Amino acid sequence: MPENGNLLLKTDISDITQNISLCNGYSVSLTPGCYTIWYYISAAVKKHGMIQLTPVLNECAQTVFRTYAETAKRKETLVVSRCFIIEIPCASTLCFAWNSSAGAARINMNLCIEKLGRQSFD
């Protein structure tokens, strides 16, 4: 993975309800409702620096859910994870923006998205 870009996503288990679906290789389509989103990233980096992953909803960075890690040395594996609940008021597209100052990295990502039974937080 280069130092900046959107992470490539793959579907392991399709959502038969069609509330969550892969749009293209880089984004997921979500129907309105409340979701739990959990992600886990391991990145093997080549040099000292930082990595950052930001969820992006409808082209708007969700910085409150951003994760960040910094290497102590070169050739290190960094692990970050995050879990959050978010209300999606209208049909939306979710992707993940990757930023790194630690050079190109080999990345493994696990992503779990679950639509909750409640309709809103009101």
Q: What is the pLDDT of residue 18?
A: 87
Q: Tokens representing 122?
A: 């009101």
pLDDT digits (tens), the chain, 122 positions: 566 677 777 777 778 888 999 888 889 999 999 999 999 988 888 888 888 999 999 999 999 999 988 888 778 888 899 999 999 999 999 999 988 888 767 888 899 999 998 655 55
Q: What is the pLDDT of residue 119?
A: 57
Domain boundaries, the chain: 4-115
CB atoms within 10 A of CB 98: 21
Cβ 32 vs Cβ 89: under 8 Å: yes
Query: What are the residues whose beta carbons fall under 8 Å from the beta carbon of 55, sequence distance 6 or more?
Result: 37, 39, 61, 62, 65, 66, 94, 95, 96, 97
Cβ 33 vs Cβ 114: under 8 Å: no
Q: What is the pLDDT of residue 3?
A: 67
> Could you tell me which CATH number the domain at 4-115 has?
2.60.120.40
